[in-house]
Structure 1
Amino acid sequence: MSTLTVRLGVMMFLQFFIWGGWFVTLGTFLGRTLEASGGQIGMAYATQSWGAILAPFVVGLIADRFVNAERLLAVLHLGGAVLLYQLYRAEDFATFYPLVLGYMVVYMPTLGLVNAVAFRQLSDPAAQFSRVRVWGTLGWIVAGLVISFVFAWDAQQAIADGALRNTFLLCAGASLLLGLYSFSLPATPPVPGQHTGLKRLLGLDALQMLKDRGFATFFLASILICIPLAFYYQNANLFLTEIGVANPTGMMTLGQVSEVLFMLLLPLFIKRFGIKATLLVGMAAWALRYVLFAYGNSGELVAFLVAGIVLHGVCYDFFFVSGQIYTDGKAGESIKSSAQGLITLATYGVGMLIGFWVAGAVSDHYATAGLHDWRSIWLFPAVFSAGVLLAFLLTFRERAAGKAAVAHRVG
Structure 2
Amino acid sequence: MAEAPPPNANEGCVGPTSSSAGKSSACAGCPNQAACSSGTFSSPAALAAKEKERSDLQNALSNISHIVLVLSGKGGVGKSTISTQIAQALSSRGYSVGLLDLDICGPSIPRMAGVTSRTVHQSQSGWEPVYANPNLGVMSISFLLEEADAAVVWRGPRKNGLIKQFLVETDWGVGGLDYLIVDTPPGTSDEHISIVQYLNDARPMMDGGASGAIVVTTPEEVSMADVRKELNFCKKTKVPVLGVVENMSGLQMKLSDVQFLKGGLDWNGEDCTQQALEILKEKCPEVLSMMICTDIFPSSGVGPSGMASQYNVPYLGKLPLDPNLLKACEEGVSFVEKFSGSPAAKPLNDIVDRLILALPVDDDDGEEDMAS
Same structural fold, with TM-score higher than 0.5 when normalized by the shorter chain: no
Question: Which structure's CA Rg is the greater one?
Answer: 2
Q: TM-score, normalised by structure 1?
A: 0.23
Q: TM-score, normalised by structure 2?
A: 0.25
* Bigger helix fraction: 1
Q: Which has the higher contact order (CA 8 A, sep 6+)?
A: 1
